[in-house]
Amino acid sequence: MKQFLKKFHVTKRVFSYPYILFMLLFVIVPLVMIFAYAFMDNDHNFTFENFKIFFTSQSSLYVLGNSLFVGVVTTVICLVLGYPVAYILSKSKNSGKVMVLLFVLPMWVNFLIRTLATKAIFLAIGVELGMGTVLFGMVYNYLPFMILPLHTSICSIDKSYIEAAKDLGADGSTVFLKTILPLSKSGIMSGITMVFIPTISTFAISQLLSNGKIFLFGDSIELKFSQDMYGVGAVMSLVMLAFVLISSFVMNHYNKNSVSVGRSLW
């Protein structure tokens, strides 16, 4: 009894147990299951058939290409729109915080509701649903994820670097290109990852804003699981996972080598 009591320590470590349990149940176990399903047929026998079905089907590769296309275009548009916004926000001293709040505000509304509302607007003004509307919906939904990391990293740039550049005779554009842009690289990288990864795996936005005519990788995975093709669905999830890993690898690499303070929101 005494020995047992001695073991009953309430240390800091105890408080991490719920989280570890949560991770184990909802992250590790599902990952293992996806991995197992990828190598199983419907009768739970070992097979490579699922990989063959996915990699030999022309449509699934096309769907993947389509998703990557949407992902790249969305990311580029978000970056082009988001960088100037983040830059201006970080320059304005007092109103900046309120403005940032205004940009984050839409994130508090559920994305499904936002998307349905977007669809209703498009239908009301008579815009034909298709690739254009899907891209709009993606940019609309993921723009805050680009602005926030950019804003944080631009804000964290030491002002003396900019002053030094000016002292040494650099004009406005040179200061931006040679000082601010390189120093906000970590923000750009994390912004790109924050936008690119979710876009290639979305399925609801594309389904709603194109009436299912634009068929993305996420839609395809969803179809596989709803049609009892768990094996192929699992293989596709693994492919998705590979993309996530590559992207986070790239991001980590940049964050490590970055000269800036390395403070990033995400």
Is residue 23 a contact point for other proteins (CB under 8 A)?
A: no
Task: Report the SS3 class of residue 212.
Answer: coil
Nearest distance from residue 184's CB to other proteins, in Å?
A: 20
**Alpha-carbon gap, residue 236 to 229, rounded angstroms:** 11
Q: Does 151 bind other proteins (CB under 8 A)?
A: no
Would you count residue 63 as binding other proteins (CB under 8 A)?
yes
| Angle between helices 230-257 and 29-38 in degrees, nearest 10 | 130
CA–CA separation, 199 and 85 (whole Å): 21
Residue 249 in the binding site for other proteins (CB under 8 A): yes
The correct pick among 52, 97, 178, 213 for binding other proteins (CB under 8 A) is: 213
Q: Which two three-digit tokens encode residue 32? A: 């293992």
In the complex, the smallest distance separating the C-beta of residue 232 from other proteins, rounded to whole angstroms, is 8
Identify the burial level of 251 via C-beta atoms within 10 angstroms of its C-beta, where 0-12 means exposed, 13-18 middle and 19 or more buried.
buried
| Closer residue to other proteins (CB): 8 or 17 | 8
CB of 107 to other proteins, least distance (A): 25
Q: Which residues fall within 8 angstroms of residue 237, CB to CB, at 6 or more apart?
A: 34, 38, 221
Stretch that binds other proteins, among 87-95, 151-159, 176-184, 249-257 (CB under 8 A): 249-257
In the stretch 153-182, what mask flags binding to other proteins with x, by CB under 8 A?
A: ------------------------------
The answer to whether residues 93 and 85 touch, using CB atoms and an 8 Å cutoff, is: no
Intra-chain end-to-end CA distance of the chain, in Å: 46
248 binds other proteins (CB under 8 A): no
* Site membership for other proteins, residue 44 (CB under 8 A): no
Considering the complex, state which of residue 6 and residue 159 has its C-beta at the smaller distance from other proteins: 6
Torsion angle (degrees, nearest 10) of CA 35, 39, 43, 49: 140
Binding site for other proteins (CB under 8 A): 2, 5-6, 8, 53, 57-66, 68-69, 72, 123, 128-129, 210-213, 215, 220, 223-224, 226-229, 232, 246-247, 249-250, 253
